[in-house]
Structure 1
Amino acid sequence: MQLNWIDWTVLIITLLTIVGYGTWKTRGRNSAQDYIKGGNSTKWWTVGLSVMATQASAITFLSTTGQAFSDGMGFVQFYFGLPIAMVVICMVFIPLYHKLKVYTAYEFLESRFDLKTRTLTAILFLIQRGLAAGITIFAPAIILSVVLGWNLTYLNIAIGILVIIYTVSGGTKAVTVTQKQQMFVIFAGMLAALFITLDLIPDDVSFTKALDIAGSNGRMEILDFSFDLENRYTVWSGLIGGTFLALAYFGTDQSQVQRYLSAKSVKEMQMGLIFNGLLKVPMQFFILLVGIMVFVFYQFNPAPLNFINSSTESVLASQYSEEYQSLQSKQNKLFTEKQAVSNALVKSDNDDLRQELYVLDSIEKTHRKEAKFIIKKAIDTAYANQYNKLSSELSSITDKTSELFKEKENELNTLYDDAGKDNKTNDRDYMFITFILKYLPKGLIGLLLAVILSAAMSSTASEINALATITSIDLYGRNLKEEKGEKHMVNATKVFTLVWGIIAIIIACFANLAENLIQLVNIIGSIFYGNVLGIFLLAFFFKNIKSNAVFTAAILTQIIVIIGWWYDWMPYLWLNLFGCILVMLLANSIQPLNKTKETQHV
């Protein structure tokens, strides 16, 4: 799709203004205090917005709206633990960091344990945040490349270069000051998107009725109090797993710690985090609500079976074209029924109509799942051959109750489900951008593209800024044989910023789309965060635990957590709690053994 000149103008001016302002405002910062800690001059509201902008990547807007469209508002439960974590960090973490006057969170670990524990924790951070930095570039790039036809590699490089320019130039302060502008663009763009979407919904559908229609389709089920571990998002996973994830992310992840360490005082740091804690859940609720309103819009306007146009074109040009067109005909008929029932529900408060709408929506979900399956067959010959082989084997088994039949049937069902996870069939993250480009007015399209790219830039800038700081302070600077001056360390940090920016671009160029991008980032975090948080909690509260026990426990925990994730022992949010508790239990178990060895040695 070709953008109008108005959209190009809005997009380019917005991005260049942000980059130019950040570079100009923070020029000439040559001291480590200025470059790495932003001169400790940041106000609390800037801290709050910077913390929020760091977390609110492009993935937030593309995936969260798509999540709401597909599954409803339940994802907001993921953030329920965040306000709790903010209070704990304000009471425990911030006073300690400020007292020690640290540049990074991991400096504290050396004073409490030893250099190898500090180094291990820093390396765990570099691995997970380095991967995440690549994904925050890749996420908007691949979607924009597919929808707009832009070259993916060029997009990855362009986003990375824009971020590198002002982050290398001004360091932490540049990241912070640009994030204020980026958050303004983000809030303005999402508000405009909501109001335009509401305006596109038929005039006789009030906001209340729109929520009623969404609820009838099962999209307004916000709270789930079940203890079902198969369900990723419940009140309990949010309050418990989400609290531990937020504690680890905001309390030990340098990309966030560096944001509030730049504040003027302890009070300013604490107020900034409380501001984030109070605003973050409503913000996520609002973003999900935008996705819900887009869903309601599509109850009165036909939606494609799959939002990835290139994939639809591929299947229509394949031998499965007739099968796909047949499914499309069923979907067209279903839409006519849904539209009629939705219109009737607008005029009548009727539970039977709500139930009918719910059933029709379930059928539509089946159609969408089947569409992904047909597309997968069309684009992946090996997958089609495997499916045909399993189908043939299943039909040849005469005893339909045998163990072999059940085994093959399960294999077939698993293969069918896997179709929706392919990067050319999983269209959830494409829904919102497709809607923007097709239905929103000129100018606003450019603004919302600027929202997506600004969010990508803000998160990536924070990440490479933190990665460079950790590399410079915790690894390079700490292991230098002779002390270097501040100018040397600032220049080294600039070089590491450039290097990590290039690494992030390379990861983005070789990345692959996951089932859902926002989940992928949180999964990567959950694999490492619990372990890191547990190390910090041991440092804070278990004075009897020494360095060797923590170091051994941390390595064992990381191996076990990775195995647990690989074999899907539990929903990923619970990995944060699991890793945190495991490292503390192992350290407490290993410490007495170390004491015994020390006694025997003496």
Structure 2
Amino acid sequence: MELTDWIVLIGTLAAIVGYGTWKTRGSKSSEDYIRGGSTTKWWTIGLSVMATQASAITFLSTTGQAFSDGMGFVQFYFGVPIAMVIICMVFIPLYHKLKVYTAYEFLENRFDLKTRSLTAILFLIQRGLAAGITIFAPAIILSVVLGWNLVTLNIIIGVLVIIYTVSGGTKAVSVTQKQQMFIIFAGMFTAFFIILNLIPEDVGFVKALDIAGASGKMEVLDFSFDLENRYTIWTGLIGGSFLALSYFGTDQSQVQRYLSGKSVKEMRWGMMFNGLLKVPMQFFILLVGVMVFVFYQFNPAPLNFIDSSTEKVMASEYSDEYDALKIKQALLFDQKQTVSLQLAKSYNEADKKQLLQLDSIEKTYRAEAKYLIKRAIDGDYGKEYDKLSQELIALQANPESDAYKEKKAELTSWYKESAKDSETNDRDYMFISFILKYLPFGLKGLLLAVILSAAMSSTASEINALATITSIDLYKRNLKEEKDDTHYVKATKMFTLGWGILAIIIACFASLAENLIQLVNIIGSIFYGNVLGIFLLAFFFKKIKGNAVFTAAVITQIAIVAVWWIDLMPYLWLNLFGCVLVIIIATILQATQKKVA
């Protein structure tokens, strides 16, 4: 990072924080501070909704997802436009009519206080965890850039967000998110065209797509019904629709964005704007990741994108083995480059098949590199692996036996799980590594500003929503003594500060999962289906009362956690499962109560 990059980065972030604080310095009433004064235009709503969802994880993990697995992840977002139509038809008119500050106020009117409180608490749990992760993701970036301690960086990022969110509330979040989305779009388009410029001139964009397709990266649609496959068109349209409906319709971090709208029309236009633009936006971000993959067909890639992990293994007893792997990868790169150039000149099945094989071999080398890194860092890891390997060798005389198959499955499963940690999992480091090594001066600062702007926008929305729910649904509703409006504004500011501090603490204890964007969606899927089911019961099942819904919601949440824990189904289906289950249980309980009565 040169001085120019630091000027661009610091200047951009300081301008956003300063603008948000200055623009909303007069937010003194609950209407202004919590609902943004109900004056927001549709384009601000649309951009604010998109900025809330587009965290730093989106740009780190989505590009890494495409680099590793291709474009198929875009199917996850196919349900968003469907959800937007339903929200515009059902949720928005109802929320506006009741003039609620939070989505959960409606539940008390329809059911009772305990159902409102339970749903609010479920939101606080899942969104509180997610807020910590959205701080942790950009902290990883700066830890790579600066070599600073992650805890220090978590605190710095969290404090920046807290400054303008505490100062201006919902309005501050909305006005800053317009600037943040502008920076995000400008930065990602700039990165895309620079990547194309770095690819050999005789390749070009169309031929780059051919090379990516030959490596299996352009397989966008999967019509299979395999439940083991996380991303198919069915999980996107069905599971994704329920997740999006839950997220945009019942998650206060999103609901609060469009509740600030000037009218029902402005809210609807804002949400449809988001629905129409969301899928193309995610497709483009994935395409950036695929183009980075193509770039590395013509430029040497590291065995592992985490430099600190590479340094650790090279300083260990496994350095010779790691060097041998690097030599193998260098030879493999020469072959890949030759085949890729041949494909660019004349696309044929033989070269396509060979490139796919070479890509598979490279994945094997990367897996071996992760194993060596893990052994270098954790000696017990190697001992456990050797123990399981010896047990498998003892059974290899009869490879068709159940004992051999079970032990092999155990070893494979253990290896996959143990390799998912922050020292070996480099998928989320891929894009930032590329930015720092290959982008021109000045643009590095811009792309880092893009990722940090996204982190700030999503985190600000989350702690703003967490504070609102705590203040309105729990504190104000259960406070027996009447207080004036100024008191609740001050209380909301204190809750904003408290949730911001808690998010920083969660970030300090976070670590990388298999993929950060998947981790956030998994956390959401564990809770969203149940919450959506509660709202659908409120909207469409008029005869079902609060006691049945409350009991059904508790049982359903326990069931969802159990199903997720034993890995019974892909996480996207948890949204449908939870939604349907709470409706069925509540219906049965209500019918039973009638019979008893």
TM range (shorter): over 0.9
> What are the within-5 Å matches in structure 2 for residues 121-520 of structure 1?
121-397=119-395, 398-520=397-519
Deviates more, 1:380-389 or 1:534-543: 380-389
- 1: CA distance between counterparts of 2:411 and 2:49? 45
- 1: CA distance between counterparts of 2:13 and 2:313? 36
- Structure 2: gaps of 5 or more residues: none
> What are the within-5 Å matches in structure 2 for residues 17-166 of structure 1?
17-166=15-164
Aligned residues: 596
Which letter maps to 1:300?
F
Which letter maps to 2:327?
S
- 2: CA distance between counterparts of 1:76 and 1:405? 38
Contact 2:62 2:289 in 1 (8 A): yes
- 1: CA distance between counterparts of 2:429 and 2:182? 24
- 1: CA distance between counterparts of 2:282 and 2:440? 25
- 1: CA distance between counterparts of 2:350 and 2:383? 44
What is the CA deviation profile of residues 39-67 of structure 1, one whole-angstrom value per residue up to 9, with x for unaligned ones?
00000000000000000000000000000
- 2: CA distance between counterparts of 1:136 and 1:351? 43
SS in 2 for 1:245: helix
- 1: CA distance between counterparts of 2:30 and 2:60? 36
What is the CA deviation profile of residues 248-307 of structure 1, one whole-angstrom value per residue up to 9, with x for unaligned ones?
000000000000000000000000000000000000001011111111100000000110
Contact 1:419 1:425 in 2 (8 A): no
SS in 1 for 2:419: helix
- 2: CA distance between counterparts of 1:593 and 1:505? 46
Which letter maps to 1:338?
K
1:565 aligned residue: 564
Tell me how far 1:147 sits from its aligned partner. 4.7
- 1: CA distance between counterparts of 2:209 and 2:493? 50
Which letter maps to 2:480?
K
- 1: CA distance between counterparts of 2:34 and 2:415? 50
- 2: CA distance between counterparts of 1:500 and 1:543? 35
What is the CA deviation profile of residues 384-438 of structure 1, one whole-angstrom value per residue up to 9, with x for unaligned ones?
0001111222223344443332222222222232343121111000000000000
Contact 2:421 2:511 in 1 (8 A): no
Which letter maps to 1:175?
V
Contact 1:327 1:371 in 2 (8 A): yes
SS in 2 for 1:421: coil
- 2: CA distance between counterparts of 1:417 and 1:165? 41
Which letter maps to 1:100?
L
Query: Which of 2, 9, 13 is equivalent to 1:15?
Result: 13
- 2: CA distance between counterparts of 1:393 and 1:474? 56
Deviates more, 1:415-424 or 1:383-392: 415-424
Which letter maps to 1:32?
S
What is the CA deviation profile of residues 112-157 of structure 1, one whole-angstrom value per residue up to 9, with x for unaligned ones?
0000000000000000000000000001112431353122111101
- 2: CA distance between counterparts of 1:540 and 1:477? 25
SS in 2 for 1:513: coil
- 1: CA distance between counterparts of 2:67 and 2:400? 38
- 2: CA distance between counterparts of 1:220 and 1:379? 36
Contact 1:147 1:308 in 2 (8 A): no
- 2: CA distance between counterparts of 1:595 and 1:173? 47
Deviates more, 1:377-386 or 1:272-281: 377-386
Which letter maps to 2:28?
N
> What are the within-5 Å matches in structure 2 for residues 543-554 of structure 1?
543-554=542-553
- 1: CA distance between counterparts of 2:250 and 2:419? 35
Contact 2:162 2:460 in 1 (8 A): yes
Which letter maps to 2:136?
F
- 2: CA distance between counterparts of 1:234 and 1:73? 11
What is the CA deviation profile of residues 433-482 of structure 1, one whole-angstrom value per residue up to 9, with x for unaligned ones?
00000000010000111111111000000000000000000000001112
What is the CA deviation profile of residues 177-213 of structure 1, one whole-angstrom value per residue up to 9, with x for unaligned ones?
0000000110011011001111100111111000000
Contact 1:7 1:446 in 2 (8 A): yes
- 2: CA distance between counterparts of 1:493 and 1:415? 46
Contact 1:341 1:357 in 2 (8 A): yes
Deviates more, 1:127-136 or 1:376-385: 376-385
1:521 aligned residue: 520
- Structure 1: gaps of 5 or more residues: none
SS in 1 for 2:220: coil
Deviates more, 1:140-149 or 1:478-487: 140-149
Which letter maps to 1:523?
I
SS in 2 for 1:478: helix
Deviates more, 1:400-409 or 1:34-43: 400-409
What is the CA deviation profile of residues 316-347 of structure 1, one whole-angstrom value per residue up to 9, with x for unaligned ones?
11122222222221111111000000111111
Contact 1:248 1:529 in 2 (8 A): yes
- 1: CA distance between counterparts of 2:551 and 2:153? 42
- 2: CA distance between counterparts of 1:497 and 1:416? 41
Which letter maps to 1:142?
I
- 1: CA distance between counterparts of 2:552 and 2:123? 17
Identity percentage over the alignment? 76
What is the CA deviation profile of residues 542-580 of structure 1, one whole-angstrom value per residue up to 9, with x for unaligned ones?
001000000000000000000011110100000000000
1:536 aligned residue: 535
Which letter maps to 2:234?
W
Contact 1:534 1:584 in 2 (8 A): yes
